[in-house]
Structure 1
Amino acid sequence: MSLSEKENEKNNLNENVRKEFEDFKEMFDRFLQERGHSINWSKINLLQDDALIMYGKLPDANENDIKTLLDQLVVIKLNGGLGTSMGCTGPKSIITIKEELTFLDMNVKQIEYLNNKYGTDVPLALMNSFNTDADTQKIMHKYCNVNVTIKMFKQSRFPRICRESLLPIALRIGEENPEGWYPPGHGDIYRSFYNSGLLDTFIKAGKKYMFVSNIDNLGATVDLNILNFLLNNTDKAPEFVMEVTDKTKADTKGGTLIDYEGKLRLLEIAQVPKEHVGEFQALRKFKIFNTNNLWINLAGMKRIVEEKTLHMEIIVNPKTLDNGMNVIQLETAVGAAIKSFDGAMGINVPRTRFLPVKMTSDLLVIMSNMYSYKNGSLVMSPKRPFPSVPLCKLGSHFTKVKDFLHRFATVPDIMELDHLTVSGDVTFGKNVSLKGTVIIIASPGERIDIPDGATLENKIVTGNLRILNH
């Protein structure tokens, strides 16, 4: 690298740090001024009829239009998370999940399939955090011969704040100590994408919409009918579409769409006053939740960033560091910007578009015979007697991926499983079949081994024993 190139790199770094500091200062000032809940519960209204459309009412995309539609799309995957919740190190996106493929592999293959089939060039952009950027950069060489243009940009890096003094702790524990810093939530995408220059680059290339989703949501594939609705809408197309789906008892903490003072707004559980949390979590009033699959107009995004009309509620996330220090992180959610866009709306999509892998219990479902892999996407088996996925709860012995894999000789047949709870020291042999409701609980100091070929249907197993086949 020449001296002038090094100087330019240094100047760009300094400029990025300056922008990050300005963004942090703005958020911190708002935090000091906006203490308390930002929601007046009495002002929440049910959604207007035109605020939510059922996916089944969308017209099918015309096969002859698909290349034109895809030529106007950018896919963004939120790649800032680590795999620590499943006992892994490094980016969550590089965990192997099915047929020796990682989350990132599957996302790349899904877009490559579209590019090859329709002769288009849908680019993939990864929003990395400072925690995941270096490790993600290292594996990019494996995609050098793939028919997908992959770009990357980084989230901001904000200082954690001491809960008692409200001072940045990075000054106390050392500037380079990673514990002093955090990525400020996926709501940072608007400014970081703009600051990276990629927003202008894609607009100049003729791109009109970006599809944003979590990289660990394997149901979040490019949907041609939604894209067709956005680009071939005879009325004014919405600048922002949030995919929502019907809430179940497993989704009671998920954010929901509300009508608030005449505008669509994302309501997160952190914003709900304590006396209304039960009402928020009940299925009766708030029947849908946010999948975090979002379709955003690029020109609209550029406008609200430049005109400084972007507004997202601040989420105060308390943490306790390894050294015992109590800190807070000020974060924002990408979906909270819905109120800043013109003509925003929700689309109630099938549950199949929400297939996140947050814990090893989710991994069990994904790795099972319930799903097959095709063109970068997961397809639920037609042999599944009902469309919903089973509710699986695995105890602390299964939390880490390596322990999870050790406890299953092979992944059980769960095609007819409705509910599974496993607690304690439990192992599964080969070719085990689980059906209906199965509860297996090994008491402390005891062990349960499910032998090869066992079939458990509507069974409760406790104690210290092995199940024998008859």
Structure 2
Amino acid sequence: MATVTLSSADADKLSNLQSATVALSQISENEKTGFINLVARYLSGEAQHVEWSKIQTPTDEVVVPYDSLAPTPEDSSEVKNLLDKLVVLKLNGGLGTTMGCTGPKSVIEVRDGLTFLDLIVIQIENLNSKFGSNVPLLLMNSFNTHDDTQKIVEKYTNSNVEIHTFNQSQYPRLVVDDFLPLPSKGQTGKDGWYPPGHGDVFPSLMNSGKLDTLLSQGKEYVFVANSDNLGALVDLKILNHLIQNKNEYCMEVTPKTLADVKGGTLISYEGRVQLLEIAQVPDEHVSEFKSIEKFKIFNTNNLWVNLKAIKRLVEADALKMEIIPNPKEVDGVKVLQLETAAGAAIKFFDKAIGINVPRSRFLPVKATSDLLLVQSDLYTLQDGFVVRNQARENPENPSIELGPEYKKVSSFLGRFKSIPSIVELDSLKVAGDVWFGAGVTLKGKVSIIAKSGIKLEIPDGSVLANKEINGPEDL
């Protein structure tokens, strides 16, 4: 275990926690060790804040402009060689609970009856067919999504994509009052545990045995992305650049808009590239962090990492990412989850870089308002890729705010006879008991706020341009 300096009170806490954790039969020795190490680091109060004066804006050598990358090799055998070094890993530990769904978020239907997972498999199938390559797909599940995912992937048995699943760690939630694991208090169901953030992808790859298997197959790079980011496609220009330049780690960043002010950004700090998250920013600098003048880019969480480097660093216990404390409440008991983020690992890898990619590579679906965008005529599906409609002149997507009536996917789908045309829409705000007919077109700025107690139905075929609607009389 890493040596950390603790006060005697904290040392006692850790010792009691250790005894209680050792007795938990539901998790492996690796998980117990990882958990205790994380708590020890947390108790030691490792410095989380950065010294503001030392922050430097990264140069183009550190955050490489996408347009400056060499073109993809034209020879298909060269492309096959590139692809045969690659593994695609999707973070699949999240449930669709925020969107009112049970089960893994990746099985929500995105478009044309296809789920996130269907689209991911189709994309890799097409690559493997076209170039005769063998790019496998890895899904990192959590204990919340494992069983469902195992059943779901059976439908891809005849696909030309090898699909592997493995679980990220399962750590016990910490009771805030006495710093003991919640499961040791009798809460042994799912509520007693948590998955410790996607920073856990590196040790879990190793502990599951998948890392050694991939290395033995000659794989060199893993492309890690959130399963709900529809823009996270395999990019041969990026892969080629990393192999040519021996970069062990690459984070895709993209220009920040006012919608992304909380996203982490890349900085140069004491000679290394580093992720700066809002939680590490001293209070007096938060507004500066959120401005898009000084910090122009943010992390898309599309990451490319060298597999041998992961093995080296995990074996050396060198990946000490910043700890993100996440307070929760379970049945009235205040608990703490300690998590880490995969992007924060960038500072431990050699020749780590960012690549400033087009915004099209960041298309996450976090809420039904995002689902409205990707189901609309703003996008079409081609070979499993979501392609933006050329007819839209504004490079930015419309901003969409849907009220709580639309929060769950089922209610969202029920309130639209068909998804409106939004190619010429700038912004949409909907709240209250609003129902959309078929073939509605929205243009410019549209606000539909139904008065309390009124059911507002937008008739089939309506064209609403720059309108504010509060009742039937405004239609």
- Range class of TM-score, shorter chain: over 0.9
TM-aligned CA deviation for residue 60 of structure 1? 1.0
1:178 to 190, 193, 212: 190
Q: Give yes or no for the alignment of 1:324 onto 2:324.
A: no
Q: Give yes or no for the alignment of 1:369 onto 2:381.
A: no
- Taking the aligned partners of 1:297 and 1:37, their CA distance within structure 2 comes to 26
- Taking the aligned partners of 2:402 and 2:46, their CA distance within structure 1 comes to 38
TM-aligned CA deviation for residue 49 of structure 1? 3.4
Map Cα deviations across residues 433-462 of structure 1 (whole Å, 9 max, x no partner).
011111111233233221111111111112
Conserved 8 A contact 1:419-1:437:
yes
- Taking the aligned partners of 1:297 and 1:256, their CA distance within structure 2 comes to 21
Q: TM-score, normalised by structure 1?
A: 0.93
1:15–1:158 Cα change, 3 Å: closer
Match of 1:99 in 2: 112
1:23 to 23, 34, 43: 34
- SS of structure 2 residue aligned to 1:289: strand
Amino acid in the other structure paired with 1:264: V
- Taking the aligned partners of 2:293 and 2:473, their CA distance within structure 1 comes to 43
1:230 to 242, 250, 274: 242
- Taking the aligned partners of 2:194 and 2:452, their CA distance within structure 1 comes to 37
Q: Give yes or no for the alignment of 1:34 onto 2:45.
A: yes
Conserved 8 A contact 1:103-1:215:
yes
Report the more deviating stretch, 146-155 or 382-391.
382-391
- Taking the aligned partners of 1:396 and 1:35, their CA distance within structure 2 comes to 40
1:375–1:431 Cα change, 3 Å: same
TM-aligned CA deviation for residue 405 of structure 1? 0.5
- SS of structure 2 residue aligned to 1:229: helix
- Taking the aligned partners of 1:423 and 1:247, their CA distance within structure 2 comes to 28
Q: Give yes or no for the alignment of 1:249 onto 2:261.
A: no
Q: Give yes or no for the alignment of 1:383 onto 2:396.
A: no
2:220 to 204, 208, 228: 208
Conserved 8 A contact 1:395-1:424:
yes
**1:52-451 equivalence runs, <5 A:** 52-64=63-75, 65-175=78-188, 177-231=189-243, 233=244, 236-321=245-330, 323-451=331-459
1:28–1:48 Cα change, 3 Å: same
- SS of structure 2 residue aligned to 1:139: helix
Amino acid in the other structure paired with 1:22: T
- For structure 1, the residue ranges without an aligned partner over 5 or more in a row are 1-12
Report the more deviating stretch, 163-172 or 349-358.
163-172
- SS of structure 1 residue aligned to 2:166: strand
Identical residues among aligned pairs (%): 54
TM-aligned CA deviation for residue 132 of structure 1? 0.1
- Taking the aligned partners of 1:402 and 1:156, their CA distance within structure 2 comes to 31
- Taking the aligned partners of 1:71 and 1:15, their CA distance within structure 2 comes to 37
- Taking the aligned partners of 1:289 and 1:210, their CA distance within structure 2 comes to 21
TM-aligned CA deviation for residue 379 of structure 1? 0.5
- SS of structure 2 residue aligned to 1:243: strand
Map Cα deviations across residues 19-61 of structure 1 (whole Å, 9 max, x no partner).
0000000000000012663322232222133111110111111
Amino acid in the other structure paired with 1:37: Q
- Taking the aligned partners of 1:114 and 1:410, their CA distance within structure 2 comes to 32
- Taking the aligned partners of 1:273 and 1:459, their CA distance within structure 2 comes to 42
Amino acid in the other structure paired with 1:289: F
- Taking the aligned partners of 2:58 and 2:306, their CA distance within structure 1 comes to 22
Q: Give yes or no for the alignment of 1:465 onto 2:472.
A: yes
TM-aligned CA deviation for residue 14 of structure 1? 7.5
- SS of structure 2 residue aligned to 1:63: coil
- Taking the aligned partners of 1:466 and 1:319, their CA distance within structure 2 comes to 46
Map Cα deviations across residues 162-188 of structure 1 (whole Å, 9 max, x no partner).
22332221212432x111100000000
- Taking the aligned partners of 1:162 and 1:174, their CA distance within structure 2 comes to 11
Map Cα deviations across residues 334-380 of structure 1 (whole Å, 9 max, x no partner).
01000000010100000000000000000000100111111111001
Please report the RMSD computed on the Cα atoms of aligned residues, expressed in angstroms: 1.5
Conserved 8 A contact 2:468-2:474:
no
Conserved 8 A contact 1:425-1:447:
yes
Size of the aligned set, in residue pairs, is 450
Map Cα deviations across residues 101-121 of structure 1 (whole Å, 9 max, x no partner).
001000001000000000010
- Taking the aligned partners of 1:15 and 1:297, their CA distance within structure 2 comes to 32
Map Cα deviations across residues 232-273 of structure 1 (whole Å, 9 max, x no partner).
x2xx42100000000001111111111122111111122222
- Taking the aligned partners of 1:445 and 1:237, their CA distance within structure 2 comes to 63
TM-aligned CA deviation for residue 302 of structure 1? 0.8
Amino acid in the other structure paired with 2:329: T
Match of 1:9 in 2: none
Q: TM-score, normalised by structure 2?
A: 0.92
TM-aligned CA deviation for residue 84 of structure 1? 0.2
Conserved 8 A contact 2:48-2:322:
no
- State the 4+ residue runs in structure 1 displaced beyond 6 angstroms: 13-16
Q: Give yes or no for the alignment of 1:50 onto 2:37.
A: no
Conserved 8 A contact 2:82-2:239:
yes
Conserved 8 A contact 2:27-2:170:
no
Conserved 8 A contact 1:451-1:467:
no
Conserved 8 A contact 1:370-1:415:
yes
- Taking the aligned partners of 1:209 and 1:392, their CA distance within structure 2 comes to 37
Map Cα deviations across residues 190-245 of structure 1 (whole Å, 9 max, x no partner).
000011111111111111111000000000000011111122x2xx4210000000
- For structure 2, the residue ranges without an aligned partner over 5 or more in a row are 1-23
- Taking the aligned partners of 2:148 and 2:473, their CA distance within structure 1 comes to 43
TM-aligned CA deviation for residue 467 of structure 1? 5.5
Match of 1:6 in 2: none
TM-aligned CA deviation for residue 75 of structure 1? 0.3
- Taking the aligned partners of 2:420 and 2:28, their CA distance within structure 1 comes to 50
Conserved 8 A contact 1:114-1:120:
yes
- SS of structure 2 residue aligned to 1:373: strand
Conserved 8 A contact 1:450-1:467:
no
Conserved 8 A contact 1:76-1:213:
yes
- SS of structure 2 residue aligned to 1:283: coil
- Taking the aligned partners of 2:444 and 2:67, their CA distance within structure 1 comes to 30
TM-aligned CA deviation for residue 291 of structure 1? 0.2
TM-aligned CA deviation for residue 15 of structure 1? 11
